[in-house]
């Protein structure tokens, strides 16, 4: 994986995918992990959300949210929230689809030469996001992505609350690297205007320590930046700097 390729792509903003037409709503309150109450045309409506972080800085009463009609148990699916600099993309499925497209297009320099061969591969006691394989020659890479939508100034951070699942994912990748395997963690900084990513000690000090240990064991610790511009998802940086507190 060559850093220079990722840096060259860093300043090339690319359209990853278009999103369907949406309506704007006003956030009222979060009802549970998967439902936010919003106000649309003067009436309260339930909106599905698939990001299970606390999102306290984003799901603020009165904040503008982007929602698409949803014909399941809720009226809408909330996928983005307005920030001062633009739209924060909260929807983890949209984040992953955009990430996959960037890999398939070869827009992430440090993953160039790999192709996605499996989603949700099992590694040890965990199910990760992806298994990639080199297009030529041998070599497999287990990859876990994490949604980083906690803002700390101009930095994106993860996590915003303790996460046993996140701890487990990092541990199995560290163990895999210690056995000679290749692994990577990629943080998807889905906030507009961020300049770097850093693990959040306040969110989960255990995860922060484990990520550092994982990097020292040989796991690639990377970040990409993307956001919703009101029309589609843009790739802002294919190799966002990763800093440690």
Phi, psi for residue 153 in degrees, rounded to 5: 65, -120
242 falls within a domain: no
Residues 30 and 10 in one domain: no
pLDDT at 9: 41
Q: Which of 64, 89, 114 finishes a domain? A: 89
pLDDT at 11: 54
244 falls within a domain: no
pLDDT tens, residue by residue, 176-225: 999 999 999 999 999 999 999 999 999 999 999 999 999 999 999 999 99
Residues 101 and 82 in one domain: no
| Matching residue, tokens 């929807």 | 91
Residues 128 and 206 in one domain: yes
Residues 8 and 85 in one domain: no
CATH code of residue 144: 3.40.1350.60
Residues 135 and 202 in one domain: yes
Tokens of 206: 């255990």
User: How many independent structural domains does the chain possess?
Assistant: 2
pTM: 0.92
Statement: residue 30 has pLDDT above 50 = yes
| Matching residue, tokens 């030529």 | 136
Residues 181 and 153 in one domain: yes
Residues 9 and 31 in one domain: no
Statement: residue 231 has pLDDT above 90 = yes
Residues 27 and 81 in one domain: yes
pLDDT at 136: 87
43 falls within a domain: yes
Least confident of 11-15, 106-110, 126-130: 11-15
60 falls within a domain: yes
Residues 95 and 156 in one domain: yes
Classify each residue of 162-173 as buried b or exposed e, where b means 16 or more C-beta atoms within 10 Å of its C-beta: ebeebbebbbbb
Task: Give the confidence band of 27 by pLDDT, cuts at 50, 70, 90.
Answer: very high
Residues 84 and 102 in one domain: no
pLDDT at 208: 96
For residue 73, the enclosing domain spans: 19-89
> For residues 245 and 243, what is the distance between their CA atoms, to the nearest angstrom?
7
Length of the chain: 245
pLDDT at 180: 96
Q: Which of 39, 72, 89 finishes a domain? A: 89
243 falls within a domain: no
Residues 38 and 158 in one domain: no
Q: Which of 70, 89, 108 finishes a domain? A: 89
Omega prior to 159 cis, within 30 of 0: yes
């Amino acid at each position: 994986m060559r850093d220079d390729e990722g840096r060259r792509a860093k300043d090339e903003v690319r359209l990853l995918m278009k999103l369907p037409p949406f309506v704007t709503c006003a956030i009222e309150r979060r009802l549970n992990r998967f439902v936010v109450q919003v106000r649309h045309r003067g009436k309260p409506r339930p909106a599905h959300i698939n990001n299970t972080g606390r999102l306290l800085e984003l799901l603020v009463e009165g904040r503008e949210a982007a929602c698409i009609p949803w014909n399941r148990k809720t009226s809408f699916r909330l996928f983005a929230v307005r920030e001062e600099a633009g739209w924060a993309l909260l929807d983890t499925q949209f984040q992953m689809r955009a990430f996959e497209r960037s890999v398939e297009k070869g827009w992430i320099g440090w993953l160039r030469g790999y192709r996605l061969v499996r989603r949700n591969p099992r590694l040890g006691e965990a199910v990760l996001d992806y298994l990639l394989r080199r297009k030529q020659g041998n070599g497999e890479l287990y990859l876990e992505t994490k949604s980083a939508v906690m803002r700390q100034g101009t930095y994106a951070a993860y996590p915003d609350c303790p996460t046993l699942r996140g701890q487990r994912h990092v541990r199995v990748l560290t163990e895999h690297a210690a056995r000679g395997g290749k692994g990577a963690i990629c943080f998807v900084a889905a906030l507009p205007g961020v300049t770097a990513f850093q693990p959040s000690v306040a969110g989960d000090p255990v995860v922060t320590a484990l990520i550092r240990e994982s990097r020292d064991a040989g796991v690639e610790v990377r970040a990409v930046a993307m956001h919703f511009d009101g029309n589609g998802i843009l790739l802002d940086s294919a190799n966002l700097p990763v800093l440690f507190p």
